[in-house]
């Protein structure tokens, strides 16, 4: 079963067409990395999938729930109602480039707040989930710390824990290591790698080519609002077919 299905997604900001008809399917347990030059539409695609932007036309289905659909080919996409939207949002997690932790909440509250107040779990249940996740992130000692007391790498691991807390069907990463120095990057990549080994379904926008090749099942190369090339990770990185892909990868 596919966890994410995006069909013929089009999106413009004013006169600028950012997505020119993107098709993307992610199967359960699959790790998909999206690479490509800045301004190529990677982040916009992710923001459309996570309800932060609305598409102009196209269909998006997450874990079987229809987020939006075009009534006919190329027609303006119609979104689901508010209730369904909340349902869809509980199906995925999103990890931001600059973490976006809530600075006035402790690490624990950052992770448990949505569990308690959106998913109506008891405080005890939420704490248990939080403790398990922090252990996994190697952050158990920081449960009562505030985000400003943590390094960037630690903050990003907390935000991954926050995204995992509601046991989503799929997690999106928007350049999770772009705000980190190489040393801190390693810790975050290690965590994502472990998630991949556990067969967590993930879509990762990244500029870390070797990481994408090692961890992803499939790599998608996006430029100019279209998918230029896609294929098995190793093959796309080592033997790109399109000239545009070759030119991009030559820079790494």
Binding site for another protein (CB under 8 A): 50-52, 86, 89-90, 92-94, 96, 98, 100-104, 113-114, 117-119, 146-148, 162, 166
Give the separation between CA 111 and CA 134, rounded to whole angstroms.
Answer: 9
Q: How far is the CB of 141 from another protein (least distance, A)?
A: 18
126 CB burial (10 A radius; 0-12, 13-18, 19+)? buried
Task: Select from 121, 130, 51 the least CA-distant residue to 93.
Answer: 51
- Judged by beta carbon, residue 102 or residue 252, the one nearer another protein is 102
- Judged by beta carbon, residue 129 or residue 212, the one nearer another protein is 129
Element (H, E) at 238: helix 233-238
- Tokens of residue 199, six digits: 């067969």
- Judged by beta carbon, residue 101 or residue 236, the one nearer another protein is 101
Q: How far is the CB of 76 from another protein (least distance, A)?
A: 21
Q: How far is the CB of 65 from another protein (least distance, A)?
A: 13
Q: How far is the CB of 66 from another protein (least distance, A)?
A: 18
Give the separation between CA 92 and CA 63, rounded to whole angstroms.
Answer: 9
CA distances from 173 to 51, 132, 176, 215 (A): 14, 21, 6, 13
Give the separation between CA 199 and CA 129, rounded to whole angstroms.
Answer: 19
- Judged by beta carbon, residue 116 or residue 226, the one nearer another protein is 116
Q: How far is the CB of 96 from another protein (least distance, A)?
A: 6
- Judged by beta carbon, residue 79 or residue 146, the one nearer another protein is 146
């Amino acid at each position: 079963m596919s966890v994410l299905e995006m069909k013929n997604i089009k999106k413009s900001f004013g006169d600028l067409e950012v997505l020119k008809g993107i098709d993307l399917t992610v199967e359960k347990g699959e790790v998909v990395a999206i690479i490509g030059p800045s301004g190529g539409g990677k982040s916009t695609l992710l923001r459309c999938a996570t309800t932060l932007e609305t598409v102009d036309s196209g269909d998006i289905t997450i874990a079987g729930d229809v987020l939006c659909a075009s009534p006919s080919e190329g027609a303006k996409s119609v979104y689901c109602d508010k209730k369904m939207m909340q349902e869809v949002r509980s199906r995925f997690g999103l990890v931001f480039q600059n973490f976006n932790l809530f600075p006035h909440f402790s690490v624990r509250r950052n992770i448990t707040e949505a569990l308690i107040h959106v998913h109506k779990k008891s405080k005890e249940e939420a704490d248990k989930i939080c403790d398990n996740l922090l252990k996994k992130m190697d952050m158990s000692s920081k449960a009562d710390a505030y985000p400003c007391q943590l390094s960037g790498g630690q903050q990003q691991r907390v935000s991954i824990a926050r995204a995992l807390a509601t046991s989503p069907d799929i997690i999106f990463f928007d350049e999770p290591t772009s705000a980190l120095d190489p040393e801190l990057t390693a810790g975050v990549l290690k965590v994502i790698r472990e998630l991949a080994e556990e067969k967590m379904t993930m879509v990762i926008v990244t500029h870390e080519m070797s990481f994408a090749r090692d961890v992803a099942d499939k790599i998608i190369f996006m430029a100019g609002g279209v998918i230029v090339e896609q294929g098995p990770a190793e093959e796309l990185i080592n033997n790109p077919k399109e000239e545009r892909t070759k030119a991009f990868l030559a820079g790494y």
